[in-house]
């Protein structure tokens, strides 16, 4: 939630409440625990597509403000 509040796209594992916080494909990506390949691919997606990263960061900030303001 802190990264989202800072306007950053999130790439996280499906541990704990993360799947309830991160909206898959909108505020970031949630990957299965232990799947290092999926984690690396999602990070690479955001590094390669700065516009997607910006859009997800903006959406995450709005979600954090509205849901947890």
The predicted structure's pLDDT at residue 68: 81
* CA dihedral for 37, 40, 34, 7, sign (positive or negative): negative
The predicted structure's pLDDT at residue 13: 97
pTM of the model: 0.90
In the block, tokens 């790439």 appear at 11
> Nearest Cα to 36, choosing from 53, 17, 11, 57?
11
Which residues have CB under 8 Å from 27's CB, separation 6+?
4, 9, 10, 56, 59, 60, 63
pLDDT per residue as tens, the chain (69 positions):
899 999 999 999 999 999 999 999 999 999 999 999 999 999 999 999 999 999 999 999 999 999 887
């Amino acid at each position: 939630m802190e990264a989202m509040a800072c306007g950053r796209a999130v790439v996280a594992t499906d541990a704990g409440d993360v799947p309830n916080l991160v909206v898959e494909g909108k505020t970031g990506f949630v990957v299965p625990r232990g799947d290092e390949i999926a984690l690396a691919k999602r990070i690479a997606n955001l590094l390669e597509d700065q516009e997607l990263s910006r859009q997800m960061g903006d959406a995450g900030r709005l979600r954090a403000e509205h849901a947890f303001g």
